[in-house]
Amino acid sequence: METKYSTEVGKYLVIHIIGDIHFFIAEVVTKDPLVIKITEEGLLSVLKQGDYVIYESFSADIQNIESQNNVIEKFKMYSGLRSLGVTDGKIYEICPD
């Protein structure tokens, strides 16, 4: 099945963790099998398929530099990724540039 977003290592995806109400920005750790992370360490650093739902259109938008800030402005998104500027291992709301 072809998707609008990439699952290459290092790409961002917008996800919803099963049992949580928030949108999260996750980073792809491995492509096959797909493993993603929301934080650098702990339980949210190794999420496998079945732990989350990927939002296809939001993920495609966040991977596109031109529309990245638009999707972050419209919806509160959270992450603890070092690549997004988080350095203390906690999860924060991510604000547009």
pLDDT digits over 6-43, tens only?
999 999 999 999 888 899 999 999 999 999 999 999 99
Residue 50 lies in a domain: yes
Rounded (5°) CA angle 34-90-56: 35
Judge whether residue 72 has pLDDT over 90. Answer: no
Both tokens of 51, joined, read 């732990």
pTM higher than 0.75: yes
What band does 1 get if pLDDT is binned at 50, 70 and 90?
Answer: low
Residue 6 lies in a domain: no
Residue 43 lies in a domain: yes
Mean pLDDT over the full length of the chain: 91
For 76, the domain range is 12-94
Residue 84 lies in a domain: yes
Neighbouring C-beta atoms of residue 16, cutoff 10 Å: 15
Provide the number of structural domains found in the chain: 1
Q: What is the pLDDT of residue 8?
A: 95
